[in-house]
Amino acid sequence: QVQLQESGPGLVKPSETLSLTCTVSGGSIRSYYWSWIRQPPGKRLEWIGFIHSGGTTNYNPSLKSRVTISLDTSKNQFSLRLNSVTAADTALYYCVREVGATRFDYWGPGTLVTVSS
């Protein structure tokens, strides 16, 4: 059974960088798309971007200038960096597997990141 688990600081100061890591267990990180999705309190889900196991990335244009997603196949992990955060970046952040660009089938439990001084 594939499992995903997010990890990282739950509190980030405004203008600093949000960094999260997702550890994938129970399966290989190869041959899939790995995405980050977030959900601000009371709002709809927002797709942040993906990295494919081959290294290709694609980011939401609304966040593209501030986002980097990277992959460490040796550790079965992928990571999110979001620069210059503001209160608007406060959200539940999920790491997710996308199968063949058709569906998000496995989700991490989510981690709440609050941006506040």
Task: Tell me how far, at minimum, the Cβ of 44 lies from other proteins, in Å.
Answer: 5
Structure tokens at 71: 């992959």
Among 31, 62, 70, 84, binds other proteins (CB under 8 A): 62
- Single out the residue of 80, 108, 113, 115 in contact with other proteins (rule: CB under 8 A): 108
**Nearer Cβ to other proteins, position 97 or 115?**
97
Q: Is 51 exposed, middle or buried (0-12, 13-18, 19+ CB in 10 A)?
A: buried
Residue 103 is a binding residue for other proteins (CB under 8 A) = yes
Alpha helices in 49-117 (DSSP H): none
Under 8 Å between Cβ of 72 and 79: yes
Q: Which residues contact 58 (CB under 8 A, 6 or more apart)?
A: 49, 50
Contacts with other proteins, 69-98, as mask; x by CB under 8 A = -------------------------x---x
User: With CB under 8 A, what is the number of residues at the site for other proteins?
Assistant: 21
By CB under 8 A, is residue 56 in contact with other proteins?
no
d(CA 54, CA 48): 19
Residues that bind other proteins (CB under 8 A): 35, 44-47, 58-62, 94, 98, 101-105, 107-110
